[in-house]
Structure 1
């Protein structure tokens, strides 16, 4: 300090001490926290809280859809049960004629009339009555009943007319089961043989599939065929993989005798003997081969050239063969 002048030495003088301020908080040594008690005194309040305030969960879109589906199913089941209790085909005034002479026709076009239906089935025999079932508004429900004069004609129509088309729609025919089979129920009341079985349970490959899928082209398993065994289906949706059948080829002892013209040492092989080449290649080394004409596989058809010198330039030789 003594070496610097006073004006510079003043810069190196220590600063004054900071002003002392008392602590706002309590000193750590003097602190004391209150005693902590347990939660057993609040258990009674928790029980009363659950009884006073009820939790109502919100319903999501999926839950709402499922609830509405269940409600519709309950309404439909109640309606089917009430209709089934009132259903009695023996006392229905609309049902007439002998049940063994009555033919059921389903999957009708909704525009088909009684006259068109009678003309279509008149070839099986005289028809006494044709009735297309309609709703309260007079619209067709897609099925009808035909009463023939004889039971023989009805039986023939039942056997021959199944799959017949009217207005590009295939028909399904059946006997009248309401009055001929005990405890029979129509399809609208939970029974019947109709429908395309989209939602019925299917067993395939050891698994149970309850989803039938929408209408449309057949699935892959129905259209797949084994290429080596004709048109036999390889899979079945109801029974799973079908059992392998024996080959449809002729046995060796059942084959016809060979043509004597080709019955040489190798059998039918000699039939194509004149097509095959006698000797494809007979060169001893690669250097002596001629690759100018690759299509001529017979050596006699190639243009033979004298052997070139092995020391000849390979580039020049390649260009000469290309051109």
Structure 2
């Protein structure tokens, strides 16, 4: 079809000149021969034989063989790291350590299980149907801040921020109202409003700790 076009349009379809030739900087992939790679099985077998005969790398480093003259290594010069051969005694010690660690973890679990008594917690007080659980609480918030924020919906019986043994806030708290309807009204009000700083949830489970 292009041969039917006039000369002024044929110029638009003319082929461009070929790209200039540059010598490649790397070898031709088609001419590169793959290198033959040998495995390490023979080397490992030789290392095992030398270690068995006591002439391995670890033995030479322990004997302090330094130069061709066979003299002692100069004081202060760092030698090669001594590689201790693996033995059954080392495997036995590892097995003992594993058993001791397993027994220690089992003892810690048993101790924690027997000492965990949430029903005897002196802080677990109040009616759960009157309690609000405050999650994602700011670590710098205080109980006075929570009291000012929640007492506008009703009289509060108790406000408690849960803390770790070092006295730092764990990021959640419990707010107990004197009346259940005050707690419900406050929860509905907080749920309808957008407050990204904290999440307010009603505490319905009696087994939970306040």
TM-score, normalised by the number of residues in structure 1: 0.29
Whichever of the two has the greater Rg, that structure is 1
